[in-house]
Structure 1
Amino acid sequence: MTDTLQAIGQALSNDVRTLTTISHNVANISTPGYRGVRTVPQFDAAAGLSEVTVLRDGGLAQTARPMDLALQGSGFFTVERDGQVLLVRAGAFRVDRDGWLVTAAGDRVLGTSGPIAMPAGDVRVDADGALRQGTQALGQLQLVTVADAAQLRPAGAGAFAFDGALVPAQAQVVQGALERSNVEPADEMLRLMETTRHAESVQRAMSMYDKAMDVGINKLGEN
């Protein structure tokens, strides 16, 4: 009896969690650089689901703003927040009043030698992440990738924390553009329909189980 109730309860909990990720994905369809999230079963069925970040590329939106940078290919920009290195995909960067290249949230963008100081004037960003002003090299964006997307943890403002090893990425930088969200509306609609139908079948199973228990208890009371 207990095992059956636990199985039904776990199934409903999994469906609710999946619906939550779908809702969050749909809400961020227009968020530049947003990475969609999927729920996947854990090896231990009793443990429920885990969430995995989808790393496929999103489309490009041309902006013509020189500090808007998009990545194409597997990888992340690196930023510093409160002494911690975080990973971001959204490249809507700007220069703060102290002359540092920062994200929209104010995190300093990291190069291979640390935070990047920006001079006045136009700056060119090459496909490999090199920053130049005329013939002067200004630095090199630190672009990294991760081996296991399941270890990425949301850190707020579109950033991710990662405890594993970071390796240089082979991604290309596109200046004057932003990467769109990688959420596919059709995929999310299909997942919504499948999850909703599964939740309805679990609810029917719960109702049948409840009726069976009620009949059993009534028969015991008659004896």
Structure 2
Amino acid sequence: MIRSLYSGISGLKSHQYKMDVVANNISNVNTIGYKSSRVNFEDLIYQKTNQSGVYPSYVGLGVNVSGVDTIFTQGGLKSTGRPLDVAIQGNGFFVLKDPVTTRTYYSREGVFYLDKDGYLINGHGYRVQDVNGADIQINNPEAVVTLTIQNDGQIKLVRSDGTTEFAGPIGLMSFKNPETLERIGQNVYSATIDTQTSFSSPVTPGQQGQGILVSGYLEMSNVDLASEFTEMIVTQRGYQANARVITTSDQMLEELLNIKR
């Protein structure tokens, strides 16, 4: 009797956790480069109720959240027409470095800018790294008339005197187990002690299985609203079912207490 109460409570907690993840996915449906999350459940320990016989009996003690996976499928590309908006079509992450802490981050968001010193940065000031793991810097950015980023990550510059120069190329990094990346927020990930990179340093886009860069486009969120709303309904019904388990168990306890009356 009491076991069912605690099983119901574990179901409520687990389904509330799943609803939190679903809500976060929906809230980020228009976040550039966002990758959706998925909750996995697992059953808890079992109590053996029959100590004899060939086929022992067990009663489960509820459910628990075993983990939250990140789904790294490709998001759709949206045209912006801005040269410093870059989408990755295929595998790989941009490599970013915080100039203050020197910490390295990884991202699928390609909204870049040039700061006053000519460094290629993202919206939080993290510097984009080239294939050698160095900051990408444009000399005399005020003299640049046009700037284009090619599919292989090369940055083509045309200066006011008509000369053409190249910078970069922008490097991409991939991972053997990207699900171990830590989600920091601000559209960036950080490597953990379990993360294994596919290469010792960033590589050129389009090579060694890496995706290509598409300038003037941004990768949108890979959240599927139809799937998320379906998961919301399933989660809500699961929550209601577990609440009903608690209510029914309470009614059975009440009947037991009323036997002596």
Q: Name the TM-score, length of structure 1 as normaliser.
A: 0.89
**Is 2:90–2:212's contact at 8 Å kept on the other side of the alignment?**
yes
How far is the alpha carbon of 1:175 from its aligned partner?
A: 0.5
Q: Which residue of 2 aligns with 1:96?
A: 115
Matches within 5 A, 1:206-217: 206-217=246-257
Equivalent-residue separation in structure 1 for 2:86 and 2:150 (angstroms): 10
Distance in 1 between the 2:2 and 2:189 partners? 39
**Residue 60 (1) aligns with residue 100 (2):** no
Question: Aligned equivalents of 1:175 and 1:104: distance in 2?
Answer: 17
Query: Which moved further from structure 2: 158-167 or 117-126?
Result: 117-126
Counterpart mapping for 1:56-205 below 5 A: 56-81=73-98, 82-113=101-132, 114-119=134-139, 120=141, 121=144, 122-133=146-157, 136-163=165-192, 164-168=195-199, 170-205=210-245
Please tell me the residue identity of whatever aligns with 1:58.
Answer: G
Separation of aligned partners in 2, 1:213 and 1:43:
25
Distance 1:130 1:196, change over 3 A: same
Seen in structure 2, the aligned counterparts of structure 1 residues 25 and 94 have a Cα distance that, compared at 3 Å, is: same
CA separation of 1:91 and 1:43: change in aligned 2, threshold 3 A: farther
Deviation at 1:31, TM superposition (A): 1.3
Sort the Cα spacing of 1:9 and 1:85 in 2 relative to 1 into closer, same or farther, 3 A: same
| C-alpha separation in 1, matches of 2:64 and 2:103 | 30
Cα contact 2:177–2:196 (8 A) shared by 1: no
Task: Note the alpha carbon deviations across 1:184-203, whole angstroms, 9 max, x for none.
Answer: 11111111111111111111
RMSD over aligned CA atoms reads 2.1
**8 A Cα contact 2:4 2:246, kept in partner:** no
What SS does structure 2 have at the residue aligned with 1:66? coil
Q: CA separation in 2, counterparts of 1:44 and 1:197? A: 21
Offset, 1:92: 0.5
- For 1:18 and 1:47, locate their aligned partners in 2 and report how far apart those are by CA, in whole Å: 11
Q: Which structure shows the bigger proportion of residues in helix conformation?
A: 1
The answer as to whether partners of 1:132 and 1:139 remain within 8 angstroms in 2 is: no
AA at the equivalent of 1:124: T
Which structure 2 residue ranges, 5 or more long, are not aligned? 46-62, 159-163, 200-208
Q: For residues 5 and 80 of structure 1, do their structure 2 counterparts lie closer, same or farther at Cα, with a shift above 3 Å needed? A: farther
Quote the sequence identity (%): 25
Q: Cα gap change, 1:115/1:18 in structure 2, threshold over 3 Å: closer, same or farther? A: same
Task: Tell me if 1:48 matches 2:65.
Answer: yes
User: In structure 2, how many angstroms separate the alpha carbons of the residues matched to 1:196 and 1:156?
Assistant: 27
Rate the CA distance shift 1:213–1:43 in 2: closer, same or farther, 3 A. Answer: closer
Distance 2:103 2:90 in 1: 24
Contact 1:54 1:149 (8 Å CA) reproduced: no
Q: What is the aligned length?
A: 221
**After TM superposition, which residue ranges in structure 1, 4 or more long, deviate above 6 angstroms?**
none
3-state SS of 2:118 partner:
coil
Any gaps of 5 or more consecutive residues in structure 1? none
Offset at 1:33?
1.1
Deviations 1:10-68 (A, max 9, x none): 22111111111111111111111111111123587765231111111111111111110
Separation in 1 of the partners of 2:215 and 2:43? 42
Name the structure 1 match of 2:56: none
